[in-house]
Structure 1
Amino acid sequence: MSDTTGILDEALERLHTTGPERNGWLTNHAPMAVEALVHRGQAPAVHRWLDRYAHKLEEPPSPSRPVTAGDWHEALGDPARITDWTRFFGRELDGRPWREVLAEWWPRLLPGIAGGATHPVIRTGHAVRTLLTSPEAETAPRRAELAHALGYWAARHQPLPALTPLAPAPTAAAALDAVPPIPEQDGGMRARLARLTGFPVWGTAPDPDTARARLVELVTASTHRYATHGHGEPIMLVHAATAPNAVLRTLPALPRELWAPSLAAAWTASAAVTAAYTPVEAAPHAPTSLTPEEVFERAAAHGDDHTIKFTDTALDVADPFALAAAVRSVELNPPVL
């Protein structure tokens, strides 16, 4: 949905005085949540929502030294350089078309898609969706948001450990079912990623169109799975769906030759979150009679940032099972009071 109110730009300008994290590693979800609220017709609620979220916002880290085209490799994956990276991408996006910058950096960043618990790629997907709305949507705050998203991704870039290919799976749903849980489900996301050992073979494609179709399949399967498995860790398991959906949203802005590697990276991200947090047993799910608009209104009133973003993804899928999963996220996650 195109925002003609100016509220999204106002919110992004307000947020760009803050950093992408708090307490040293927890993610600032506000830029993603406000974009979802505006996109789904809830723009009037944005500033009230931000007022309630404000206590979670911190100032950005101090800069260290500029990242340059000649030394970016040494700064990749260094969270202490978050502000340096944001400023680097700000300069890049001031000097070149945003699609050109994105196409150059996307394949460099994909191997670290799981870094920051997948939040950087999710923030990138929200930023790109806004820029793709129309030529008039390419405002300075939205270009700056892409710089913040890419800078966060570069700073939190974290490749996965070497993984053993396991038996091939015929579908995305079967592949997610076959992902082996990590041996010990404790600690934070970074510690859990280090324990990954192998994934089923899935997520390859011979051509761009097949890659896109399989990515749609993955987003659908991971969204559906939340309805039956989200209770394993209600907050973290939303990312098994929102991360691949961020990649799917970005495809139209990318050269087609990047679509197949994007699918492969999205699969590893979804599988990694599934392995790190999936419960032992599935739970029954209840259908819903709510319309997509009513489901999102419920998520917006609930107020939790993860719930808003997951429901936004569920509305992209837009089938009854996905809507039931979104309602399940409202039930499982604590509301913002």
Structure 2
Amino acid sequence: MSDASITGPEFAGKGYENEAQFGDYFALLKPRVMTLVVFTAAVGLLAAPVAVHPFVAFCAILFIAVGGGASGALNMWWDADIDAVMTRTKRRPIPAGKVTRDEALGFGLALSGFSVVFLGLASNWFAAGLLAFTIFFYVVIYTMWLKRWTPQNIVIGGAAGAFPPMIGWAVATGGISVDSVLMFCLTFMWTPPHFWALALFMRKDYDHAGVPMLTVTHGRRVTRNHILVYTLLLAALAIAMAFTSAGGPVYLSVALVLNALFVKGAYDIWRRDEEICEVDNFRAERKFFKLSLLYLFAHFGAILIEAVLSGFGLGGWA
């Protein structure tokens, strides 16, 4: 993949005449995605039963964030061709002509090595190895292989975004546990309905880019069925987590309310037909997608509250 491979009308006039600015490189890190990475990793670290020195914790979360950003830069390097034809992504630094593919590749590789090595030095090498595997999984397994090959791309590839709380937990404990695996599963099961809802009202983007999302390969009706099934499984998992050591009454209250709303939203999507969707511009699907953004933050926020309360001997079911 090189700049020479960037051809076609979508790149017309983009000669990279202007020197890239700091903001362009920062955009390569996918800062909105990085926010979720940082938050879930921090919750995993703070919910662990082993205390971590504040400076070590800060450094660890910083290096995990850098690793997540490196994954984003490498994803944009590989996907520059399809980013250029999708409305949602055409303003990203490479298709916008702000950064070249080679620059994004070098930037991503440098940050990947930096984040893994320094996380190992700051905490432990198990956590660093888990971060390295996460970067590899997102870039190679998901971006280079699954994304353009199978409609199950987001199901399997969602594992990459589910690893951060496990990495945070590993920073504190040097390993994994049932609690960290359940936090992984919570994010893993949330990812498909979250992205399939987006795909329902952005299907034309994926059609034009040739990405085999479920909406493209099997249609919106099948996608709606999948959203409902995954949401029901997710709700059961999310509520069950309340009765682990990471959960408690605060988490249970949040989980009951949010999952009731989430299941209701999935049902509303499932029962709709395409004529109604075209008339109201996919109102229910957009509403469900917005709720899904709150969903994960609220669940991990509740886990964080339980961890803080436990520090004062108030958390959990004790």
Q: Structure 2-normalised TM-score?
A: 0.30
Instruction: Report which of the two structures shows the higher radius of gyration computed on alpha carbons.
Output: 2
- The answer to which structure has the higher helix fraction is 2
Q: Structure 1-normalised TM-score?
A: 0.28
